[in-house]
Copies of this chain bind each other. A is one copy, B any other.
Amino acid sequence: MKKKTSLKDIAQEAGVSTALVSYVLTNKEEKARVGQEMAKKIRKIAQKLNYQPNHIARSLKSGRSDTIGLIVADISNPFFGNIARTIEDEAKRNNYTVIFGSSDENLEKSGDLITVLLNRQVDGLILIPTEGSEQQIKQLRKQPVPFVLIDRYFPQIPVSQIGINNFQASYNAISHLIKTGHQRIGMIAYKTTLHHINERKRGYTEALADNGLGSMMKLSRYSNIRKETRQAIDQLLQGRKPADAVFFATNSLAIEGLKYINELGIKVPDELAVVSFDESEAFDLFYSPITFIRQPILEMGNAAVRVLLEHIRNGEKKPENICIDTELVIRKSSR
């Protein structure tokens, strides 16, 4: 097996000390007063032997790994995939590498991932926390490693956080449905303790209340999303006064719901208007393109990296809260 070239190999070949090689290859020749000829020679040998610095050794020495840990809730969901992509891009632009893991909405997996990433000496963490991970986050605060939450957060834990105004976004979406003449607006959301989802519910409820309308909230669980979303829709549509619009709290819920709506042959938007949180390519493909709340993924990802790097560089402890505006993209499904 071929072995990797180290400073030692180059030093040997050049007949000098490893220190000298290090000075040259990290461009500290000036400071270290290395002879021009020797510098040239060393560089040439490095090139010849295809030297690549050992980042691990460097990290051990410097105490920094130039690595960010990223834990997403579910990498197979394009929403999180896109967040991951923007974070990776922005990290790379700042010469950081991303180590990632997907907790798959599983508390134990999330805990394991945090431990693994910390052991790998990441310089910081970006988390999309799982339901029930409050304790893990509190534990994290006792560690010296800075971190930021994105998308989801826990209002009672003071940490840096990047997100949107879930309440307002929901409120606006429902206001739009009311303005377009809908009176019996249902919502399908997760049964969860996650604050961002509950803010969405609150936006829905208040918008209805402010217009003298009653709530028709149905809950589904992530763990049994298919069945329970179908039940929720059945409930919304039954009775003498069925819903004339439905608001989905996430793209996953909307996709499950729309599949069923399709099966039932319900006409959107005539029989039922539809609005969803989040984006999805599937929304474009529905025969009546779905009105949705667009989250500023790019801005969120970039902000997360920016805030994290600030914390890394400054040892900053003051939590920073960033709230970015959403956009209601109105299409055929709600007209």
Contacts and interface: CB of A to CB of B under 8 A. Distances in A.
Interface of A: 1-4, 50, 52-57, 59-60, 65, 67, 74-78, 80-82, 84-85, 88, 92, 97-102, 104, 112, 115-121, 142-144, 255, 258-259, 262, 280-287, 289, 315
11 contacts: A52-B119, A54-B60, A67-B120, A75-B75, A77-B81, A97-B99, A97-B101, A98-B100, A255-B285, A262-B287, A282-B282
Given A56-B56, A282-B280, A76 B65 contact: no
A56 B65 contact: yes
A120 B81 contact: no
- Shortest 7 CB-CB contacts between residues of A and residues of B: A282-B282, A81-B81, A282-B285, A287-B287, A2-B144, A55-B119, A76-B82
Nearest to A117: B97
B3 A119 contact: no
A155 to B, nearest CB: 25
Given A259-B285, A286-B285, A4 B75 contact: no
Nearest to A91: B101
A211 B82 CA distance: 43
Copies of this chain, whole number:
2
A101 B85 CA distance: 8
Given A52-B118, A282-B282, A85 B75 contact: yes
A53 B284 contact: no
B119 A53 contact: yes
Contacts of A262: 284-285, 287, 289
